[in-house]
Amino acid sequence: MISTTSFFAPVDEDLKILTQNLRNLIGARHPILAAAAEHLFSAGGKRIRPAIVLLVSRATLGEAEPTSRHRRLAEITEMIHTASLVHDDVVDEAQLRRNVPTVNSLFDNKIAVLAGDFLFAQSSWYLANLDNLEVVKLLSEVIRDFAEGEIQQGINLFDTSLSIESYLEKSYYKTASLIANSAKAAGVLSEVPREVCEHLYHYGRELGLAFQIVDDILDFTSDTEVLGKPAGSDLISGNITAPALYAMAENPYLEVLIERGFSGEGDLEKALSIIKESQGIEKSRELALGYGKSAVTHLTCLPSSPSTQALIDLVQYNFGRIY
């Protein structure tokens, strides 16, 4: 497995500063939150989202040092992402994330609700204080999309009539929106032309979708240890992702198994083997590849530089996870 570190070389130092700042921003005053923050911000997160913001910042600033507002944007991005994970884990009753106990399992639901609210609240305060109304709008859109995505996912559990379009819409809300809008926001702070901002948005959107699809593939192809949560856990909880959607079209018996919530003996094993034997994984790969290729085309508006190259390499890194 390829480490993300090499891709993030241009922003390695920036990410160290970010981690330190995040700890300082959250931890200072409340012992319980400090424990939760320490737990959250040292739990081996790959920091992909702030890394993208920092890479876009450098790429649009002619490789100059990111300003304090670019750095703050990267921090806000990670705070919003972390807040959404904390509340997701409450809603999904998840016990593990990245092999680390979730806040709700380590403390309890109350602390997890509070910690998530606190992170959302801090991030919206820091956001307002970036003093840029367009950036505020872009990121408040993200917060709204998170809530929308989580609700759509909740409503569609075990719904076998879900279309690939609805799956992609939900994936946009839950994953791509943050990457798209924060990449664009970094461009806005750098005051690049409007059309560059739009390309940055689309780079983030397509990359985000490709990331989500690859994650959804890995949920079927990886083992528990690599995944940091039980394999097939999305399907078990009724969250129907790309590989299952394609497999259902091929073998309608999968629909039956899902609709009865895997209540029969051996149902889950049967469902997982139907998916593995189908073209579902391969078709999902192709879907992700399409988004990845499209993401790269949106970077041609940037001057070549180590950071621009890193943004391109990130698309490759994503596919390295499944090839």
- 117 touching its own copies, by CB under 8 A: yes
Number of C-alpha atoms within 13 angstroms, CB side, residue 60?
28
Q: Considering the complex, state which of residue 104 and residue 190 has its C-beta at the smaller distance from its own copies.
A: 104
CA-CA distance, 204 to 182, in Å (whole number)? 8
Q: Considering the complex, state which of residue 10 and residue 116 has its C-beta at the smaller distance from its own copies.
A: 116
Q: What are the counts of helices (DSSP H) followed by strands (DSSP E) for the chain?
A: 17, 2
Rounded to a whole number of angstroms, the minimum distance from the CB of residue 51 to its own copies is: 25
For residues 59 and 311, is the Cβ–Cβ distance under 8 A? yes
Of the candidate spans 50-58, 132-140, 176-184, 290-298, the one that interacts with its own copies by CB under 8 A turns out to be 132-140
Helix, strand, coil share of the chain (percent; to 5): 75, 0, 25
Among 1, 3, 31, 252, binds its own copies (CB under 8 A): 31
Return the H-helix or E-strand segment holding 96: strand 96-97
Among 8, 107, 118, 167, binds its own copies (CB under 8 A): 118
- 276 touching its own copies, by CB under 8 A: no
Among 146, 201, 203, 220, binds its own copies (CB under 8 A): 146
Rounded to a whole number of angstroms, the minimum distance from the CB of residue 137 to its own copies is: 4
**Cβ density class 189-204: b for 16+ within 10 Å, e for less:** bbebeeebbebbbbbb
Which residues of this chain interact with its own copies, rule CB under 8 A? 30-33, 87, 90-91, 93, 109-110, 113-114, 116-118, 120-122, 124-125, 127-129, 131, 133, 136-137, 140-141, 143-144, 146-148, 150-151, 154-155
